[in-house]
Amino acid sequence: MLDENHHLIQCIMDYQSKGKTAECTQYQQILHMNLVYLATIADSNQNMQSLLPAVSLPVMWFLGACNRADQLVHQSMSQNRHDKK
């Protein structure tokens, strides 16, 4: 949708530079609908974040440690496969 909005803005600018403001209206309406849609999504995501409980630092540390341990296991397994070849 961001690429589409970029294209719409380019079309609007092109028509405006050519003095064809009437042609801009259709593109401006589509761009407006897209921006309202994106704002609605962003707003709903913001509202969802406020409903979720905050993650405490110990939980964040634990999740980070688990992720790091998982990475080390995968690295070790990859190294073992490489050594066997």
- For the chain, the domains span 1-44+57-79
Q: Is the pTM of this model over 0.85?
A: no
Measured CA to CA, the distance from residue 47 to residue 25 in angstroms comes to 32
Contacts of 28 (CB under 8 A, 6+ apart): 12
At 3, is the pLDDT very low, low, confident or very high (cuts 50, 70, 90)? very high
DSSP string, 25-69: HHHHHHHHHHHHHHHHHHHHHHHHHHHSPPPPHHHHHHHHHHHHH
Q: Which pLDDT value is given to residue 30?
A: 94
Instruction: Indicate whether 13 pLDDT > 70.
Output: yes
In this structure, the chain runs to a length of: 85
* Under 8 Å between Cβ of 14 and 7: no
At 42, is the pLDDT very low, low, confident or very high (cuts 50, 70, 90)? confident
